[in-house]
A and B are shown apart, each in its own frame.
Chain A
Amino acid sequence: DARVTQTPRHKVTEMGQEVTMRCQPILGHNTVFWYRQTMMQGLELLAYFRNRAPLDDSGMPKDRFSAEMPDATLATLKIQPSEPRDSAVYFCASGGLAGAGGTTGELFFGEGSRLTVL
């Protein structure tokens, strides 16, 4: 069945290392979101793509984070250099536009990538 796939599921790294998280959205979905979840902040929107174009990355620390969609089947979130405060669960979600083809704007989430930066 169709689902959003994220890799890696778990990542432990040392401060200063580069981290790349990958996401395969559901085929046919034209919106992709990256969220970060922590106990303190809850779910924070980091970046948002529509038809592979970045529409909003205002929630992302620009100096170290970057998000791209090299093609319709792959979205990446990169952190370079990583810091301990980046430790969180990173979720990718995809969806179709509300109202388009009867969709309700709901998002489908991957299982998340749990990042620990030591």
Chain B
Amino acid sequence: GEDVEQSLFLSVREGDSSVINCTYTDSSSTYLYWYKQEPGAGLQLLTYIFSNMDMKQDQRLTVLLNKKDKHLSLRIADTQTGDSAIYFCAESWGNNRLAFGKGNQVVVIP
């Protein structure tokens, strides 16, 4: 399978911005995704970006894609306590499978 790398832990104060980074390996991925997992729940799609885009903005979320470096980031503006979760990036690869990173735990401090 493909290899998706993420850092593991981030703490951020409520109201600040948080940035989560990810590197991926398959340059032919059509879509790249950010999923959110709250405690005791499954993963939910937060946002995605098509591989021919550099940036996508969706309310408080900004996704940046650097195809040359195979680097994906998610910026959450005005971070709120409800944003505390594990965030996974994922890339699409052969036969419509998704390869997930190990996840980045975000803890929002009130």
Contacts and interface: CB of A to CB of B under 8 A. Distances in A.
Interface of A: 4, 31, 33, 35, 42-43, 45, 48, 50, 55-56, 59, 91, 93, 95, 97-99, 104-112
Chain A interface, DSSP helix/strand/loop, else mixed: strand
Contact of B42 (A31, A105, A110): A110
Interface in B78-103: 88, 92, 95-103
B7 interface: no
B42 A98 contact: no
Given A91-B43, A98-B30, A109-B44, A42 B100 contact: yes
A59 to B, nearest CB: 8
Interface residues of B, number: 23
B48 A106 contact: yes
Contacts of B96: 31, 50, 95, 97-98, 105
Contacts of B88: 43
B43 A42 contact: no
A97 B41 CA distance: 24
